[in-house]
């Protein structure tokens, strides 16, 4: 706090002791080092000027001086306070200008809102993508395990698919993941999931869940392999982890950057909801599609099988909607509807 000039600065104020609601009319005299307050009934108070904190002016309100012990002075003597506390004038002038010029203040609010929107729509997804690449695989695995446990508790039951069929699909997954040097130990889980219809989803760490309804919907093993290739793309691009970080926000970014396995596995609370209700963005789905087309060709399968299963899932979804059910079959594939037709076209025309 700066020292005032040797000239005495005087002004009237209202004094509150900070303990009761009682108020006293007071006269304030400010010298170089101290503030002297006198009031009704012989009340006197001396306060070192260095222990006084003055609030910036708010349009249409009294100025407030905070004194030790919770006491305060309220006054309309704005000019006196500006002379008494010159170092705060710059901030006070700026605050007062905003209040006095509401269009400027409104513009500031609009700019702040626009920046917040940009952070949510673009900034956070970008940051989540950058951070996800630095999270250890073992942390992803733990997150995937906890997420699967949450999904099992909420919507999924034990699979009814026969063991022979399960073994065949696992063999197809092994063919798709052979010689993939990405550090993941891919694992396939079959589940009967209420309300999800024909579906599959990849969890962080390499676990892929496929629903009984999808196995039954597929006309052949190649269509199931096409779905698995798509899910492998999500794993390799760490889309599940990115979605979890994005859903949890800033705290998740900090936990991920710190590499704290205990903290980051708390993302398992947000990931099931993000997967089952929101799904991936169109950009992430396109990345997984592109990987699937390339990988299918590498093992001798045509991307047309992906187009075929997408078409069947879309047909089932339309049928469920027409029948009065929620028609959610395929959150990971059809959540971007009406873009499904475009994805089918991409698969059919993949080089």
Percent of the chain with pLDDT over 90: 41
Give the confidence band of 2 by pLDDT, cuts at 50, 70, 90: very low
Per the document, the length of the chain is 351
Which among 1, 33, 29 has a CA at the least distance from the CA of 13?
Answer: 29
Contacts of 125 (CB under 8 A, 6+ apart): 242, 246, 281
**Per-residue confidence (pLDDT) for residue 245, from 0 to 100:** 76
Checking if the pLDDT of 72 tops 90, the result is: yes
- The whole model's pTM is what? 0.61
State the Cα–Cα distance between residues 95 and 4, nearest whole angstrom.
22
Domains of the chain as residue ranges with CATH: 9-100 (2.30.29.30), 119-348 (no CATH)
Render 60-115 in DSSP notation, one character per residue.
Answer: TS-EEEE-GGG-EEEES-HHHHHHH-GGGHHHHHHHHHHHH-HHHHHHHHHHHHHH
Checking if the pLDDT of 331 tops 80, the result is: no
State the Cα–Cα distance between residues 296 and 317, nearest whole angstrom.
25
Give pairs for 257-261: CB < 8 Å, separation 24+. Answer: 257/131, 257/134, 259/134, 259/135, 259/136, 259/139, 261/136, 261/138, 261/139, 261/142
- Report CA-CA distances (Å) from 74 to 42, 59, 66, 202, 239: 19, 14, 9, 62, 57
pLDDT tens for each residue of 272-325: 776 776 678 888 899 999 999 999 999 999 999 999 999 999 888 776 655 555
Sheet containing 207-211, strands listed edge to edge, beginning at the edge strand earlier in sequence: 156-158, 187-193, 207-211, 200-202
């Amino acid at each position: 706090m700066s020292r005032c000039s040797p000239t005495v600065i005087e002004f009237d104020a209202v004094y509150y002791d900070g303990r009761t609601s009682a108020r006293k009319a007071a006269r304030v005299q400010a010298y170089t080092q101290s503030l002297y307050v006198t009031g009704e009934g012989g009340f006197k108070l001396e306060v070192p000027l260095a222990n006084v904190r003055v609030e910036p002016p708010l349009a249409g309100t009294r100025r407030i001086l905070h004194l030790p012990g919770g006491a305060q002075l309220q006054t309309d003597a704005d000019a006196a306070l500006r002379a008494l506390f010159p170092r705060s004038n710059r901030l006070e002038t700026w605050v007062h200008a905003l209040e006095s010029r509401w269009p400027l203040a409104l513009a500031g609010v609009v700019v702040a809102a626009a920046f917040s929107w940009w952070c949510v729509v673009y900034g956070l997804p970008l940051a989540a993508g950058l951070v996800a690449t630095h999270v250890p695989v073992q942390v992803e695995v733990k997150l995937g395990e906890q997420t699967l446990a949450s999904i099992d508790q909420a919507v999924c039951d034990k699979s009814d698919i026969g063991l022979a069929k399960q073994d065949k699909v696992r063999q197809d997954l092994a063919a798709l993941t052979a010689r993939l040097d990405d550090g993941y130990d891919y694992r396939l889980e079959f589940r009967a999931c209420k309300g999800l219809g024909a579906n599959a989803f990849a969890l962080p760490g390499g676990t892929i869940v496929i629903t009984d309804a999808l196995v039954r919907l597929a006309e052949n093993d190649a269509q199931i392999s096409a779905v698995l290739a798509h899910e492998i793309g999500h794993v390799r691009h760490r889309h599940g982890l990115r979605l979890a970080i994005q859903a949890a926000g800033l705290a998740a970014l900090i936990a991920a950057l710190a590499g704290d396995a205990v903290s980051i596995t708390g993302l398992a609370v947000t990931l099931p909801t993000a997967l089952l209700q929101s799904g991936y963005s169109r950009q992430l789905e396109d990345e997984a599609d592109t990987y699937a087309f390339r990988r299918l060709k590498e093992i001798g399968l045509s991307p047309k099988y992906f187009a075929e299963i997408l078409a069947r899932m879309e047909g089932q979804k339309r049928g469920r909607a027409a029948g009065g059910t929620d028609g959610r079959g395929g959150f990971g594939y059809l959540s971007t509807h009406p873009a499904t037709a475009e994805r089918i076209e991409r698969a059919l025309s993949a080089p």
